[in-house]
């Protein structure tokens, strides 16, 4: 049976996270970029700032997760990302043409 490798992306609030998981159970890497320090001075999450920080972080967080898993995008079978609920302006809510389940 072929291994299924998933690249999981989470950006629903104030942390950008990317993980590589094999066969739904084996976590090969899990990288989290926290924005806690940025939002602390405002007393809570500021959606516009969170959204911009996701965009700034997603590429290098993805590269780091792939490197830690010793993989490239060519090794990935499926990409899964958060799709609501979450902040209105987060990267996971930008695509409105995705099917809702």
- The DSSP line for 17-60 is EEEEEETTTEEEEEEEEE-HHHHHTTTS--HHHHHHHHHHHHHH
For residues 8 and 27, is the Cβ–Cβ distance under 8 A? no
pLDDT at 94: 46
Q: Is the pTM of this model over 0.75?
A: yes
Fold held by 5-93 = Nucleotidyltransferase; domain 5 (3.30.420)
Written as tens digits, the pLDDT of the chain (101 aa) is: 899 999 999 888 888 899 999 999 999 999 999 888 888 888 988 888 888 888 889 999 999 999 999 999 999 999 999 876 666 655 554 444 444 43
């Amino acid at each position: 049976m072929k291994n299924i490798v998933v690249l999981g992306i989470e950006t629903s609030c104030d942390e950008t996270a990317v993980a590589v998981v094999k066969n739904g159970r084996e976590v090969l890497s899990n990288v989290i970029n926290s924005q806690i320090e940025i939002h602390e001075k405002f007393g809570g999450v500021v959606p516009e700032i969170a959204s911009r920080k996701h965009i700034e972080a997603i590429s290098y967080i993805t590269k780091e997760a792939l490197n830690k898993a010793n993989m490239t995008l060519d090794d990935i079978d499926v990409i899964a990302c958060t799709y609501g609920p979450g902040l209105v302006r987060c990267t996971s809510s930008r695509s409105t043409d995705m099917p809702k389940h």
